[in-house]
Structures are given as structure tokens and as C-alpha cells.
């Protein structure tokens, strides 16, 4: 007589739908299911099997939909949503020096960061992002806003040598950073980090102190590397070398570092990044809009570098939409290399999920739908005309899906959006507060 399998209790079952696991073999389960308990994935497999094996307190009907890991937006500045589209189509240095820096000096306060981050959380949940990496000021406000929203974040306290909206200089910034790391280390969804801005705004001593402080807390370090020719010129003038080589010489390339952009890196620098297990974050839309260039993503992937995808801040994108970002990534490398096989859909979807998790060095915990991973997933509706007919779900997600198709968002096993209704945010209050900030900024611009 065959033994009846034991029925296990779980908290949540996502039942039906095509499951894109993004595991090492890109396994796709048609009519699949995901079982979740205590915020973790217990099993991913065929629906018929999981239905027999598990009994759930709650289930989500995903039949006729696509289930995939939540997106990892591996580089953004969430609160900059409040400066979305404040000035477009201007030269990078004009944009920074005439608009961004003065506006930030004038407007970036604790409240600005709080409401800007809440707005960003709204936009990200509604478009399927479950984890993001942030670098900004008053980062404890980011941590709090994300904690309330239920999202996952690597929150990097900004470190500069010059005065910033939250510090008079590096010493105060580092003290702030230490307090932040000390207060938040160990939180299940908020990983506090330090974000030394870039080689041209953070000198070698401050950069080394920052990395040393982060190491004491085993905290990640997020920075900008080789975004533009302007940056290369400044670093070359000051240090006689390139940003990657400069960081390598300082001994700062390592598996806790995540480098956004890496647009202007040569073959040797790519090898340094890969050998150093540095995470790289590709931000195609921001790099295109600011005319920074096209990062050598195919070459970085071929070298074995950990490459994730990010939107950058909404001031230079102008949205936080990872589905749009995937399409841009897939397209820009094809035209830049004149090779239509470059950066195919499968690779782009990986960059937007597991690749981003790897680039942030949390790839063991999130990024794919596999047993033991934290339960961060999204359910995509495919009833729109742009999903008809549907030959390949991965192609659909990258090339024709639109982020309003995101129906359900689960982070750490908790439902943050259910049939497009946000469960953790007071969107009316966010709208009111954000509209007030918008009015004040508009009159300052006038």
C-alpha cells in the first residue's frame, strides 16, 4: 500500500500560471505553484503536486497569468521622485549644477526624503519591484518608509566630502552612517548600507574610512563608477587614472561593493570588476537620457561580472518602471553593437531579478523562485491586447508587457498589492503631501 503523503500547512499558495523561476537553468513551470511559509519559499512546482501536498491559510489564483520573482531595482534614489521631470533635455553639468544640486540644497529635508520615498514605494510596488537599492540623504527615513511599505531595500546613507543636506562633511556623514548601520543592522527587509557618492566627490581617505566602517557591520557599499566622460576627466586630473583603477589601487574593489553605471570601463577594468566580485548596476534609460553612453554589458556579462539593472532616480529617467527598463536594456545593446542577438530577453529578465540580487550580494536570499529563498514574487496579468498571442512568456515580459499588468506583489510572504490595490500605503495622503512639495518646488523654479 502506498503511503499517503503528509499534507503540510503553509501560509500562502500561489496557484496556477506560468512560473518563470529564473533559477540557474531558467526553469519555466507551466500551470505551476509556489508554496510560502514564514516569509520563505517552501516549494515551487506543478500546481497539481503542490495542491495535494500543501494546505494554505490563503491562496492567490494565478491561473492564466505569469508568476515571476519581484524585480530588483539595483540602483535608484527613491526620494528624487519629488524632482521627477523638473528639467529635462539639458546638458548633464547644467542639469546637476543649475538644477539638481541647488534644488537639493534648498529642498532636501527629512520630510522631503520621507514623502519622496513613500511616493517611490507606491510607484515601485505598483510596477512590480520588490527590492531596491537606494543612495540618498536622511537614509533612516528611507529605511522607515520601506519598513512600513513592506518592501525590501539596501539603503545606502550618502557620504560626501562636501556638506550635504544631512551632514556638514565627511566626518558628520560617517558618524551618521555609523548610527544608521547600528540602528538597522539585522532588520529582515532593510539592509543598511553606506553610499560614498563617487570617486570625484569622495576622496581616498573618506572612501577608505567608509568601506572600513561598512566592513565592521558587514554592510554593503554602494557607489557610482564611470558614469560619464566628465567624471573620467575629473578623476584623471586628480588621480591620473580611471575610477575603477583608482578604487582598485585603494584596495576597495570587493564583494561588498556595488558600482552603478560602469559606462566608461575598458577590458582591463571589466576584468578587475569581475575578479573583485564587485556588483555592477546597469541603468540604460538614465545613461541614454543624460547621454552618458552605453555600458559594455555584453562584455561585462561575458567576463562573469555580477550585473543587475536599475532605473536610477526619477529625476533622470523619469520613472521607476523596471519593465520599461528591461525593454530599453534589451534594445539599446542590440543597436549599439549592431547585433540583434545581443542581450536577449532571457538575459535581461535575469538582470532585472537574480542578477540585481547578485550585484547587491544578496543573491543567496532573493532574486529567483526557489526553495529556501525569501518569498518575493509578482503576478502579471496577460489579458491585455499586447499579450496576444503569447508565444514566449519571457519575450512578453521584456518586449511587450507594461507594468500596469502587475496584479499582485508579495514580499517576504506578505501581500503588498492585491489585484492592483495597495495594502500598505495611504496613497491619498502621499498624493496630498507630494503635491505640496511639487507646488513649492515649482514656485522656486519660476
Q: Which of residues 91-150 bind a copy of itself (CB under 8 A)?
A: 91-92, 95, 119, 122-123, 126
Stretch that binds a copy of itself, among 105-113, 155-163, 271-279, 338-346 (CB under 8 A): 338-346
Nearer to a copy of itself, 37 or 289 (CB): 289
Nearer to a copy of itself, 277 or 294 (CB): 294
Identified binder of a copy of itself from the candidate list 248, 342, 380, 406, rule CB under 8 A: 342
CA distance 411 to 415: 7
Indicate the Cα dihedral angle 90, 269, 248, 214, nearest 10°.
60
Identified binder of a copy of itself from the candidate list 331, 414, 415, 418, rule CB under 8 A: 331
Contact 180, 192 (CB under 8 A): yes
Nearer to a copy of itself, 86 or 273 (CB): 86
Give CA separation, 167 vs 96, 98, 280, in Å. Answer: 19, 21, 27
Nearest distance, CB of residue 345 and a copy of itself, angstroms: 6
The cell for 37 is: 511559509
Q: Does 277 bind a copy of itself (CB under 8 A)?
A: no
Nearest distance, CB of residue 395 and a copy of itself, angstroms: 4
Nearest distance, CB of residue 152 and a copy of itself, angstroms: 19
CA distance 80 to 362: 25
Q: Does 13 bind a copy of itself (CB under 8 A)?
A: no
Q: Does 237 bind a copy of itself (CB under 8 A)?
A: no
Nearest distance, CB of residue 172 and a copy of itself, angstroms: 30
Nearer to a copy of itself, 96 or 250 (CB): 96
CA 375 to the chain's CA centroid? 17
CA distance 371 to 409: 18
Q: Does 338 bind a copy of itself (CB under 8 A)?
A: yes
Contact 117, 190 (CB under 8 A): no
Contacts of 389 by beta carbon, 8 Å cutoff, 6+ apart: none
What part of residues 349-408 is at the interface with a copy of itself (CB under 8 A)? 383-386, 388-392, 395-396, 399-400, 402-404
Stretch that binds a copy of itself, among 33-41, 60-68, 81-89, 270-278 (CB under 8 A): 81-89
The residue among 379, 311, 354 whose CA lies nearest residue 120 is 311
Stretch that binds a copy of itself, among 71-79, 80-88, 170-178, 215-223 (CB under 8 A): 80-88
Identified binder of a copy of itself from the candidate list 48, 49, 57, 85, rule CB under 8 A: 85
Contact 223, 214 (CB under 8 A): no
Q: Does 81 bind a copy of itself (CB under 8 A)?
A: yes
Q: Does 314 bind a copy of itself (CB under 8 A)?
A: yes
Nearer to a copy of itself, 21 or 403 (CB): 403
Q: Does 315 bind a copy of itself (CB under 8 A)?
A: no
Nearer to a copy of itself, 99 or 239 (CB): 99
The residue among 217, 228, 215 whose CA lies nearest residue 254 is 215
Contact 318, 331 (CB under 8 A): no
Nearest distance, CB of residue 273 and a copy of itself, angstroms: 22
Stretch that binds a copy of itself, among 55-63, 141-149, 176-184, 326-334 (CB under 8 A): 326-334
What part of residues 195-214 is at the interface with a copy of itself (CB under 8 A)? none
Identified binder of a copy of itself from the candidate list 40, 234, 277, 294, rule CB under 8 A: 294
Contact 59, 433 (CB under 8 A): no
CA distance 213 to 208: 9
Amino acid at each position: 500500500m502506498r503511503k499517503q503523503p503528509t499534507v503540510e500547512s503553509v501560509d500562502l499558495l500561489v496557484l496556477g500560471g506560468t512560473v518563470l523561476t529564473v533559477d540557474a537553468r531558467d526553469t519555466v513551470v507551466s500551470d505551476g505553484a509556489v508554496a510560502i511559509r514564514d516569509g520563505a519559499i517552501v516549494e515551487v512546482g506543478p500546481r497539481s503536486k503542490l495542491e495535494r501536498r500543501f494546505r494554505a491559510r490563503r491562496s492567490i489564483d494565478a491561473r492564466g497569468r505569469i508568476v515571476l520573482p519581484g524585480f530588483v531595482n539595483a540602483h535608484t534614489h527613491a526620494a528624487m521622485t519629488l524632482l521627477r521631470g523638473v528639467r529635462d533635455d539639458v546638458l548633464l553639468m547644467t542639469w546637476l549644477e543649475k538644477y539638481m544640486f541647488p534644488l537639493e540644497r534648498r529642498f532636501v529635508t527629512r520630510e522631503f526624503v520621507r514623502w519622496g520615498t513613500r511616493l517611490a514605494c507606491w510607484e515601485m510596488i505598483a510596477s512590480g519591484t520588490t527590492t531596491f537599492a537606494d543612495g540618498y540623504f536622511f537614509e533612516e527615513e528611507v529605511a522607515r518608509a520601506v519598513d512600513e511599505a513592506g518592501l525590501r531595500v539596501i539603503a545606502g546613507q550618502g557620504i560626501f566630502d562636501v556638506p550635504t543636506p544631512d551632514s556638514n562633511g565627511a566626518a558628520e556623514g560617517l558618524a551618521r552612517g555609523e548610527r544608521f548601520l547600528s540602528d538597522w543592522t539585522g532588520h529582515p527587509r532593510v539592509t543598511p548600507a553606506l553610499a560614498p557618492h563617487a570617486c570625484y566627490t569622495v576622496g581616498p581617505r573618506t572612501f577608505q574610512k567608509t568601506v572600513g566602517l561598512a566592513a565592521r557591520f558587514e554592510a554593503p557599499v554602494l557607489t557610482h563608477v564611470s558614469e560619464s566622460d566628465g567624471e573620467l576627466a575629473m578623476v584623471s586630473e586628480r588621480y591620473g587614472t580611471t575610477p575603477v583603477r583608482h578604487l582598485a589601487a585603494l584596495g576597495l574593489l570587493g564583494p561588498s561593493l556595488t558600482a552603478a553605471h560602469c559606462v566608461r570601463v575598458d577590458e582591463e577594468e571589466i576584468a578587475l570588476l569581475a575578479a573583485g566580485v564587485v556588483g555592477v548596476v546597469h541603468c540604460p534609460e538614465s545613461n541614454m537620457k543624460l547621454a552618458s553612453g552605453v555600458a559594455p554589458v555584453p562584455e561585462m556579462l561575458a567576463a562573469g561580472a555580477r550585473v543587475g539593472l536599475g532605473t536610477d532616480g526619477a529625476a533622470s529617467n523619469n520613472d521607476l518602471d523596471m519593465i520599461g527598463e528591461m525593454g530599453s536594456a534589451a534594445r539599446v545593446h542590440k543597436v549599439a553593437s549592431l547585433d540583434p542577438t545581443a542581450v536577449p530577453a532571457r538575459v535581461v529578465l535575469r538582470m532585472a531579478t537574480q542578477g540585481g540580487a547578485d550585484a547587491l550580494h544578496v543573491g543567496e536570499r532573493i532574486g529567483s523562485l526557489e526553495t529556501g529563498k525569501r518569498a518575493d514574487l509578482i503576478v502579471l496579468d496577460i489579458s491585455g491586447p499586447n499579450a496576444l498571442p503569447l508565444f514566449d512568456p519571457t519575450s512578453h515580459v521584456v518586449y511587450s508587457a507594461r507594468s500596469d499588468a502587475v496584479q499582485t506583489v508579495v514580499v517576504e510572504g506578505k501581500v503588498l498589492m492585491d489585484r492592483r490595490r495597495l495594502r500598505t500605503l495611504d496613497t491619498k495622503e502621499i498624493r496630498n503631501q507630494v503635491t505640496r512639495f511639487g507646488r513649492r518646488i515649482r514656485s522656486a523654479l519660476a
